[in-house]
Chains A and B, each alone.
Chain A
Amino acid sequence: MTSPTHVNGDAPEAMIARDMVKKAAIIGPILIVAFGFIWGVHGALSTAYGLAIVVANFVLAAAMLTWAGRISPGFVMGAALFGYLIRLSLIFLAIWLVRTASWVELVPLGITIVVTHLGLLFWEMKRVSLSIAYPGLKPTSASKESTSK
Protein backbone atom coordinates (compact mmCIF):
# COMPACT_ATOMS: atom_id res chain seq x y z
CA MET A 1 0.00 0.00 0.00
CA THR A 2 1.37 3.40 -0.91
CA SER A 3 0.39 6.37 1.17
CA PRO A 4 0.19 9.87 -0.29
CA THR A 5 2.82 12.32 0.89
CA HIS A 6 0.18 15.04 1.14
CA VAL A 7 -3.60 15.34 0.92
CA ASN A 8 -4.86 16.65 -2.41
CA GLY A 9 -7.73 19.05 -3.04
CA ASP A 10 -9.26 22.01 -1.26
CA ALA A 11 -9.20 22.08 2.53
CA PRO A 12 -12.74 21.34 3.73
CA GLU A 13 -11.90 22.30 7.32
CA ALA A 14 -11.47 25.96 6.42
CA MET A 15 -14.77 25.91 4.54
CA ILE A 16 -16.59 24.34 7.50
CA ALA A 17 -15.01 26.78 9.96
CA ARG A 18 -16.00 29.75 7.75
CA ASP A 19 -19.55 28.45 7.58
CA MET A 20 -19.63 28.02 11.37
CA VAL A 21 -18.44 31.60 11.89
CA LYS A 22 -21.29 32.81 9.66
CA LYS A 23 -23.78 30.71 11.64
CA ALA A 24 -22.33 31.99 14.93
CA ALA A 25 -22.83 35.55 13.65
CA ILE A 26 -26.50 34.73 13.09
CA ILE A 27 -27.17 32.94 16.38
CA GLY A 28 -24.79 35.01 18.54
CA PRO A 29 -26.86 38.19 18.92
CA ILE A 30 -29.98 36.13 19.76
CA LEU A 31 -28.11 34.23 22.48
CA ILE A 32 -26.52 37.41 23.86
CA VAL A 33 -29.88 39.17 24.10
CA ALA A 34 -31.58 36.09 25.64
CA PHE A 35 -28.88 35.60 28.29
CA GLY A 36 -28.73 39.36 28.80
CA PHE A 37 -32.40 39.27 29.81
CA ILE A 38 -31.74 36.49 32.33
CA TRP A 39 -28.34 37.51 33.79
CA GLY A 40 -28.17 41.21 32.89
CA VAL A 41 -25.32 43.08 31.21
CA HIS A 42 -22.65 40.85 32.80
CA GLY A 43 -24.46 37.80 31.47
CA ALA A 44 -24.55 39.29 27.96
CA LEU A 45 -20.83 40.11 28.11
CA SER A 46 -20.01 36.60 29.37
CA THR A 47 -22.11 35.08 26.59
CA ALA A 48 -20.26 37.13 23.97
CA TYR A 49 -16.95 36.02 25.50
CA GLY A 50 -18.03 32.35 25.48
CA LEU A 51 -19.15 32.67 21.85
CA ALA A 52 -15.78 34.18 20.91
CA ILE A 53 -13.99 31.28 22.64
CA VAL A 54 -16.02 28.67 20.73
CA VAL A 55 -15.54 30.38 17.36
CA ALA A 56 -11.81 30.87 17.98
CA ASN A 57 -11.56 27.19 18.93
CA PHE A 58 -13.15 26.08 15.64
CA VAL A 59 -11.06 28.46 13.56
CA LEU A 60 -7.84 27.39 15.29
CA ALA A 61 -8.68 23.69 14.85
CA ALA A 62 -9.41 24.22 11.14
CA ALA A 63 -6.24 26.27 10.63
CA MET A 64 -4.06 23.63 12.31
CA LEU A 65 -5.59 20.71 10.39
CA THR A 66 -5.43 22.57 7.06
CA TRP A 67 -1.80 23.46 7.64
CA ALA A 68 -0.97 19.87 8.62
CA GLY A 69 -2.93 18.43 5.68
CA ARG A 70 -0.72 20.35 3.26
CA ILE A 71 2.34 18.61 4.68
CA SER A 72 1.28 14.96 5.14
CA PRO A 73 -1.52 12.77 6.56
CA GLY A 74 0.81 11.67 9.36
CA PHE A 75 1.19 15.28 10.34
CA VAL A 76 -2.61 15.58 10.53
CA MET A 77 -2.53 12.96 13.31
CA GLY A 78 0.00 14.97 15.30
CA ALA A 79 -1.78 18.24 14.66
CA ALA A 80 -5.13 16.79 15.78
CA LEU A 81 -3.79 15.37 19.05
CA PHE A 82 -1.43 18.19 20.01
CA GLY A 83 -3.99 20.67 18.72
CA TYR A 84 -6.53 19.15 21.10
CA LEU A 85 -4.17 19.64 24.03
CA ILE A 86 -3.19 23.16 22.98
CA ARG A 87 -6.77 24.28 22.37
CA LEU A 88 -8.04 22.86 25.68
CA SER A 89 -5.19 24.61 27.46
CA LEU A 90 -6.01 27.88 25.69
CA ILE A 91 -9.70 27.60 26.64
CA PHE A 92 -8.69 26.83 30.24
CA LEU A 93 -6.38 29.85 30.24
CA ALA A 94 -9.00 32.11 28.64
CA ILE A 95 -11.50 31.29 31.41
CA TRP A 96 -8.95 31.14 34.24
CA LEU A 97 -7.71 34.65 33.47
CA VAL A 98 -11.17 36.24 33.62
CA ARG A 99 -12.78 34.08 36.33
CA THR A 100 -12.57 36.81 38.95
CA ALA A 101 -13.32 39.74 36.62
CA SER A 102 -16.29 41.85 37.65
CA TRP A 103 -18.10 41.41 34.30
CA VAL A 104 -17.91 37.61 34.27
CA GLU A 105 -20.86 35.39 35.11
CA LEU A 106 -19.58 31.83 35.04
CA VAL A 107 -22.97 30.12 34.61
CA PRO A 108 -23.97 31.81 31.31
CA LEU A 109 -20.35 31.54 30.13
CA GLY A 110 -20.32 27.78 30.71
CA ILE A 111 -23.78 27.27 29.22
CA THR A 112 -22.82 29.33 26.15
CA ILE A 113 -19.66 27.30 25.54
CA VAL A 114 -21.47 23.95 25.65
CA VAL A 115 -24.68 25.01 23.88
CA THR A 116 -22.95 26.99 21.11
CA HIS A 117 -20.34 24.31 20.48
CA LEU A 118 -22.93 21.54 20.17
CA GLY A 119 -25.55 23.70 18.42
CA LEU A 120 -23.16 24.92 15.72
CA LEU A 121 -21.87 21.39 15.21
CA PHE A 122 -25.32 19.86 14.79
CA TRP A 123 -26.30 22.68 12.41
CA GLU A 124 -23.13 22.19 10.36
CA MET A 125 -23.50 18.41 10.42
CA LYS A 126 -26.98 18.73 8.93
CA ARG A 127 -25.63 20.88 6.09
CA VAL A 128 -22.63 18.63 5.47
CA SER A 129 -24.67 15.42 5.49
CA LEU A 130 -27.12 17.00 3.06
CA SER A 131 -24.36 18.15 0.72
CA ILE A 132 -22.72 14.69 0.84
CA ALA A 133 -26.03 12.87 0.24
CA TYR A 134 -27.25 15.27 -2.46
CA PRO A 135 -24.18 16.95 -4.01
CA GLY A 136 -26.38 18.55 -6.67
CA LEU A 137 -28.12 20.64 -4.01
CA LYS A 138 -24.87 21.97 -2.56
CA PRO A 139 -24.91 25.78 -2.81
CA THR A 140 -22.17 27.15 -5.07
CA SER A 141 -21.03 30.69 -5.80
CA ALA A 142 -22.34 30.33 -9.41
CA SER A 143 -25.86 29.47 -8.21
CA LYS A 144 -25.80 32.39 -5.77
CA GLU A 145 -24.87 34.77 -8.60
CA SER A 146 -27.64 33.44 -10.83
CA THR A 147 -30.27 33.85 -8.09
CA SER A 148 -29.14 37.37 -7.31
CA LYS A 149 -29.56 38.47 -10.94
Chain B
Amino acid sequence: MSILAQATTAAEAALTAADQKSISAAGYAGLAYGLATLGPGIGIGYLVGQSVQAMARQPEAAGMVRTTMFLGIAFTEALALIGFVVFILLKFV
Protein backbone atom coordinates (compact mmCIF):
# COMPACT_ATOMS: atom_id res chain seq x y z
CA MET B 1 0.00 0.00 0.00
CA SER B 2 2.80 2.37 0.95
CA ILE B 3 4.61 1.49 -2.28
CA LEU B 4 1.54 2.56 -4.23
CA ALA B 5 1.31 5.83 -2.28
CA GLN B 6 4.99 6.50 -2.91
CA ALA B 7 4.55 5.85 -6.63
CA THR B 8 1.57 8.26 -6.78
CA THR B 9 3.54 10.96 -4.98
CA ALA B 10 6.47 10.48 -7.34
CA ALA B 11 4.17 10.72 -10.36
CA GLU B 12 2.58 13.91 -9.02
CA ALA B 13 6.00 15.42 -8.41
CA ALA B 14 7.01 14.58 -11.98
CA LEU B 15 4.15 16.68 -13.35
CA THR B 16 5.11 20.25 -14.00
CA ALA B 17 2.91 23.17 -13.03
CA ALA B 18 1.94 23.65 -16.69
CA ASP B 19 0.85 20.00 -16.94
CA GLN B 20 -1.28 20.29 -13.82
CA LYS B 21 -2.80 23.50 -15.14
CA SER B 22 -3.69 21.93 -18.50
CA ILE B 23 -5.17 18.87 -16.77
CA SER B 24 -7.38 21.02 -14.56
CA ALA B 25 -8.33 23.21 -17.56
CA ALA B 26 -9.41 20.08 -19.48
CA GLY B 27 -11.47 18.97 -16.49
CA TYR B 28 -13.20 22.35 -16.20
CA ALA B 29 -13.82 22.50 -19.97
CA GLY B 30 -15.44 19.06 -19.82
CA LEU B 31 -17.54 20.14 -16.85
CA ALA B 32 -18.64 23.29 -18.69
CA TYR B 33 -19.62 21.27 -21.77
CA GLY B 34 -21.57 18.84 -19.57
CA LEU B 35 -23.43 21.73 -17.96
CA ALA B 36 -24.08 23.26 -21.40
CA THR B 37 -25.81 20.07 -22.55
CA LEU B 38 -27.86 19.71 -19.35
CA GLY B 39 -30.22 22.63 -20.04
CA PRO B 40 -31.06 21.65 -23.64
CA GLY B 41 -31.60 18.04 -22.47
CA ILE B 42 -34.23 19.21 -19.98
CA GLY B 43 -35.68 21.59 -22.59
CA ILE B 44 -36.02 18.90 -25.26
CA GLY B 45 -37.61 16.49 -22.77
CA TYR B 46 -40.19 19.09 -21.76
CA LEU B 47 -40.82 20.19 -25.36
CA VAL B 48 -41.35 16.69 -26.72
CA GLY B 49 -43.44 15.68 -23.71
CA GLN B 50 -45.82 18.59 -24.28
CA SER B 51 -45.90 17.88 -28.05
CA VAL B 52 -46.81 14.23 -27.49
CA GLN B 53 -49.57 15.35 -25.12
CA ALA B 54 -50.82 17.82 -27.75
CA MET B 55 -50.83 15.07 -30.43
CA ALA B 56 -52.75 12.76 -28.10
CA ARG B 57 -55.34 15.46 -27.37
CA GLN B 58 -55.69 16.62 -30.97
CA PRO B 59 -54.48 13.99 -33.44
CA GLU B 60 -55.78 16.05 -36.38
CA ALA B 61 -53.23 18.78 -35.51
CA ALA B 62 -50.34 16.29 -35.34
CA GLY B 63 -48.71 17.62 -38.53
CA MET B 64 -48.53 21.17 -37.22
CA VAL B 65 -47.41 20.03 -33.77
CA ARG B 66 -44.63 17.87 -35.24
CA THR B 67 -43.45 20.73 -37.46
CA THR B 68 -43.13 23.15 -34.56
CA MET B 69 -41.71 20.38 -32.35
CA PHE B 70 -38.94 19.63 -34.86
CA LEU B 71 -37.99 23.29 -35.13
CA GLY B 72 -38.16 23.63 -31.33
CA ILE B 73 -35.84 20.68 -30.85
CA ALA B 74 -33.37 22.15 -33.34
CA PHE B 75 -33.48 25.56 -31.65
CA THR B 76 -32.95 24.04 -28.20
CA GLU B 77 -30.10 21.96 -29.58
CA ALA B 78 -28.44 25.13 -30.83
CA LEU B 79 -27.68 25.98 -27.17
CA ALA B 80 -25.79 22.73 -26.75
CA LEU B 81 -23.95 23.32 -30.03
CA ILE B 82 -22.90 26.80 -28.91
CA GLY B 83 -21.61 25.29 -25.64
CA PHE B 84 -19.76 22.63 -27.61
CA VAL B 85 -18.15 25.13 -29.99
CA VAL B 86 -17.05 27.32 -27.07
CA PHE B 87 -15.57 24.21 -25.42
CA ILE B 88 -13.68 23.28 -28.59
CA LEU B 89 -12.38 26.82 -29.07
CA LEU B 90 -11.28 27.17 -25.43
CA LYS B 91 -9.67 23.75 -25.37
CA PHE B 92 -7.81 23.66 -28.67
CA VAL B 93 -7.31 27.23 -29.93
* Alpha-carbon distance A92/B33, docked complex (angstroms): 11
* Alpha-carbon distance A77/B44, docked complex (angstroms): 9
Inter-chain contact count A-B, CB under 8 Å? 108
B67–A132 touching, CB < 8 Å: yes
Residues of B in contact, count (CB < 8 Å): 36
Shortest A55–chain B CB gap in Å is: 12
A88–B78 touching, CB < 8 Å: no
CB contacts under 8 Å to B, within A74-133, are 74, 76-77, 80-81, 84-85, 87-88, 91-92, 95, 99, 106-107, 110-111, 113-114, 117-118, 121, 124-125, 128, 132
* Stretch among A11-19, A21-29, A37-45, A139-147 lining the B interface: A11-19
B48–A16 touching, CB < 8 Å: no
- Is the contact region of chain A dominated by helix, strand, or loop, or is it mixed? helix
Task: Check A12/B67 contact, CB under 8 A, given A77-B48, A81-B41, A113-B81.
Answer: yes
For residue B52, which residues in chain A have a CB less than 8 angstroms away from its CB?
A: 73-74, 76-77
For residue B85, which residues in chain A have a CB less than 8 angstroms away from its CB?
A: 110-111, 113-114
Which of B41, B70, B86 is close to A12, meaning CB atoms less than 8 Å apart?
A: B70
A84–B66 touching, CB < 8 Å: no
A73–B56 touching, CB < 8 Å: yes
Asked whether any CB of chain B lies closer than 8 Å to the CB of A32, the reply is no
For residue B41, which residues in chain A have a CB less than 8 angstroms away from its CB?
A: 81, 84-85
Shortest B40–chain A CB gap in Å is: 7
Task: Check A132/B64 contact, CB under 8 A, given A106-B93, A121-B71, A124-B71.
Answer: yes
* Alpha-carbon distance A142/B93, docked complex (angstroms): 51
Asked whether any CB of chain A lies closer than 8 Å to the CB of B55, the reply is yes
Size category of the binding interface on chain A? 35 or more
Asked whether any CB of chain A lies closer than 8 Å to the CB of B31, the reply is no
Asked whether any CB of chain B lies closer than 8 Å to the CB of A58, the reply is yes
B78–A69 touching, CB < 8 Å: no
* Alpha-carbon distance A1/B54, docked complex (angstroms): 12
The 7 nearest A-B residue pairs measured at CB: A110-B85, A3-B56, A12-B67, A80-B48, A73-B52, A13-B70, A7-B62
8 A-B interface contacts by CB (under 8 A): A2-B56, A69-B66, A80-B48, A84-B77, A91-B84, A107-B89, A121-B74, A128-B68
